[in-house]
Amino acid sequence: MNASDTLTGEHFFNGNIASAEGAIAAGCRFFAGYPITPSTEIAERMSRRLPQMGGTFIQMEDELASMCAILGAAWGGAKSMTATSGPGFSLMMENIGLGVMTETPTVVVNVMRGGPSTGLPTLVAQADVMQARWGSHGSCDMIALAPSSPQEMFDFTVRAFNLSERFRIPVIVLSDEVVGHMTEKVVIPPAEKIEVVDRRKPSEPPGPNYLPYKAGEDLVPPMANAGEGYHMHVTGLTHDQRGYPVITAAAQVELVTRLCEKIRRNRDSIIKCTEVDIEGAEVVVVSYGISARTSWKAIRAAQRKGLKVGQLKLDTVWPFPEERIRKLAGSIKGFVVPELNMGQIVYEVERCAAGQCKTRLVPHPGGEIHDPAEILKAIREVSK
């Protein structure tokens, strides 16, 4: 296989391999990572495929270095990515925050496993959801996508790169062990059918008046590559439009407000949910990742019993679809939220429902997926 070869067509891939192929289709040409179960197949695939595509794979000494490396590669002009699981994701948090502050587009795939600590390296959980949103200190709005199938691992990885390039921010693909390791049909469209977004470049030539962090109406500055002749200063400190440190409250207000608002103003174009049988539903199951797949059997069983149940599948976990939850809460009896943790997204659902209806968690600390009977029981209780 060489750089001219294409994988267009139907394949049987596990989710991790599908994610790697999605990254390549989106234009990723740099991967730095440290092996960690259950994401290692992504690194293994990229180690073979990137050299074929003229790209670079580097195995780093740890996850801190991995995150640093992909930030640097992005500033060198490459689309870059890393992959990890819970413990490694924790180690990456400081440099994910650096990526937010320096507005560096890159992608982090987190294939979640059981924790805390070393936990269950080979078994499933969904316990990193709040960490994806709040793990880095300071005020920052994050983007995290939650695939539920190998096909979505491909599609959502492509979308993660597009969002990172558009908004200049690290974007997280929040997968889980079962989705990462299940094998299903994955359709890779021809290249011309895949939407690929590239970062916007400066319209002005290099010169003394160039401001690397000057943003227009969309609040996202154009991004020059290091080595193209533009003067740039990249720092994690609060900075002005030149990129120079300015340690004042006024500078903080101006910068951090813009970093948050560039995501908040575009929530409608970022947030994606899949709705099934929502019209007329009295109970709505809010789920994501592998729990969305498990929920479907319970929903069908409830419907056969005459219950009016629909599903709201969170394709985008962050930003959270607050407006949709609020609207649904006013017209249903309640939400059922199955999670492979002891409760995370359920509190966002409850917050947005604001007492208009019931909110019921179906918790599971991980290691295995839900028994659909547990979800069905919760649906029946909420529907009363």
Q: What is the pLDDT along the chain (384 residues), one digit of tens a residue?
A: 444 456 999 999 999 999 999 999 999 999 999 999 999 999 999 999 999 999 999 999 999 999 999 999 999 999 999 999 999 999 999 999 999 999 999 999 999 999 999 999 999 999 999 999 999 999 999 999 999 999 999 999 999 999 999 999 999 999 999 999 999 999 999 999 999 999 999 999 999 889 999 999 999 999 999 999 999 899 999 999 999 999 999 999 999 999 999 999 999 999 999 999 999 999 999 999 999 999 999 999 999 999 999 999 999 999 999 999 999 999 999 999 999 999 999 999 999 999 999 999 999 999 999 999 999 999 999 999
Tell whether 305 and 158 lie within a shared domain.
no
Tell whether 23 and 172 lie within a shared domain.
yes
- Within a domain: residue 345? yes
- Within a domain: residue 336? yes
Residue with tokens 């021809």: 190
Cβ(36)–Cβ(170) under 8 Å?
Answer: no
Q: Return the closest-CA partner of residue 225 out of 241, 209, 208, 206.
A: 206
Q: Return the closest-CA partner of residue 53 out of 31, 29, 71.
A: 29
Which tokens hold the place of 164? 């990172």
Tell whether 77 and 182 lie within a shared domain.
yes
Give the model's pLDDT for residue 1: 41
Tell whether 180 and 293 lie within a shared domain.
no
Burial class (CB in 10 A: 0-12, 13-18, 19+), 192: exposed
Tell whether 287 and 169 lie within a shared domain.
no
How many other C-beta atoms lie within 10 A of the C-beta of residue 279?
8
Cβ(83)–Cβ(56) under 8 Å?
Answer: no
Mark which of 162, 190, 218 sits at the end of a domain.
190
Which tokens hold the place of 36? 């960690």
**Cα–Cα distance between 314 and 147 in angstroms, integer?**
9
Domain region containing 30: 9-190
Cβ(38)–Cβ(112) under 8 Å?
Answer: no
Q: How far is CA 77 from the centre of its chain?
A: 21
Give the model's pLDDT for residue 5: 57
DSSP state of 225: P
**Cα–Cα distance between 296 and 306 in angstroms, integer?**
15
**Cα–Cα distance between 73 and 262 in angstroms, integer?**
23
Tell whether 36 and 136 lie within a shared domain.
yes
Tell whether 38 and 174 lie within a shared domain.
yes
- Within a domain: residue 209? no
- CATH number for the domain spanning 292: value is 3.40.50.920
Tell whether 295 and 164 lie within a shared domain.
no
Q: Return the closest-CA partner of residue 83 out of 48, 146, 32.
A: 32
Give the model's pLDDT for residue 304: 98
- Given strand 334-339, what is the order of strands in its sheet? 273-276, 309-314, 283-287, 334-339, 358-363
Sign of CA dihedral 40, 42, 47, 48: positive
Q: Give bridge partners of residue 334 from the DSSP assignment.
A: 283, 358
Number of domains in the chain: 2
- Within a domain: residue 124? yes
Residue with tokens 């498990």: 294
Give the model's pLDDT for residue 3: 42
Question: How crowded is the C-beta side of 254, counted as CA atoms within 13 Å?
Answer: 13
**Cα–Cα distance between 127 and 82 in angstroms, integer?**
19
**Cα–Cα distance between 223 and 220 in angstroms, integer?**
9
**Cα–Cα distance between 123 and 177 in angstroms, integer?**
6
**Cα–Cα distance between 121 and 131 in angstroms, integer?**
18
Angle, in degrees to the nearest 10, between helices 150-167 and 15-25: 40
Tell whether 20 and 148 lie within a shared domain.
yes
